[in-house]
Amino acid sequence: MSRPQQEILFDIDRFEPGPADDWRGLDRLLIELWQTNVSAACLPVLFRVFERFPDDPSAGVCWGIVHGLESADLDYAGALRESLARQPSELGQIMLRRLEKNKNEV
């Protein structure tokens, strides 16, 4: 039985890498989250991960947020810009450039 989305988001919001920079816990949480009906309510928590770890030391785990949001049917541009205004982040800036590139191609 899957957990409620709010519980998963709570755990993502509190995530800290384990010993030896182990990010597998976040990877498992993201997999669990993508199995739910991801909504705009998830955006602040997911972007806070970028804000807490702006240089992405996750060895690729945080790319799961990028790919998950890009494949979800959500308008996340505004929340992304707000996040970047609070704390610029490597992956947030990449997402914004990709959004702008896609917008220019249409």
pLDDT in tens, the chain (106 residues): 689 999 999 999 999 999 989 999 999 999 999 999 999 999 999 999 999 999 999 989 999 999 999 999 899 999 999 999 999 999 999 999 999 988 777 5
pLDDT tens for 54-72 read 999 998 999 999 999 999 9
Q: What is the pTM (predicted TM-score) of this model? A: 0.92
Tokens representing residue 16 in the block: 């800290």
- Using a CB cutoff of 8 Å and minimum separation of 24, what contacts does 58-61 make? 58/17, 58/23, 58/26, 59/21, 59/23, 61/23, 61/24, 61/26, 61/27, 61/30
**pLDDT tens-digit readout, 35-45:** 999 999 999 99
pLDDT at residue 83, as a whole number: 98
